[in-house]
Amino acid sequence: MAYTINGVEKDTDDDDYLLEADLSEEAVEAIAAEQGVALTDDHRAIISFLRRKYQEDGHTPNLRNMMKMLEEEAVIADVSSARLFELFPDGGAAKQGVKIAGLTKPFGKGGY
């Protein structure tokens, strides 16, 4: 699969993560549309958080650490697994959220 962002096809891996991160707003819009996610303020707050962590650390946190940080930083009002899967039904924020943020595939369990 590939996502078309600003008229340019961006290659993905077998799990539909971009091979190279794209931090443009157009990437968020295009990937969200392809994933069937209608973006809300909560989506955008989490995407902003994920992009910031990616820029600071070179990767995104694993789910457990992500939830802890989201809660500590009060990124959204309801930081629960159920809410994150409601927002990002295909794998939660750690998977689908990362895809929609235009980031590369996360490390997985290791993370930090």
Residue pair 99/35 in contact by the 8 Å Cβ criterion: yes
What per-residue confidence (pLDDT) applies to 109?
54
Write the pLDDT tens digit of every residue in 57-106. Answer: 998 888 889 999 999 999 999 999 999 999 999 999 999 999 999 999 98
Question: Can you tell me the distance from the alpha carbon of 64 to that of 44, in angstroms, rounded to the nearest whole number?
Answer: 20
Sketch out the chain's domains with CATH numbers. Answer: 2-100 (1.10.10.370)
pLDDT over 60 (residue 108): yes
What per-residue confidence (pLDDT) applies to 112?
44
Least Cα distance to 4 among 105, 104, 106, 102 occurs for 102
Measured in residues, the chain has a length of 112
pLDDT over 50 (residue 111): no
What per-residue confidence (pLDDT) applies to 63?
87
Instruction: Give the pLDDT mean for 21-43.
Output: 97
What per-residue confidence (pLDDT) applies to 9?
96
What per-residue confidence (pLDDT) applies to 95?
94
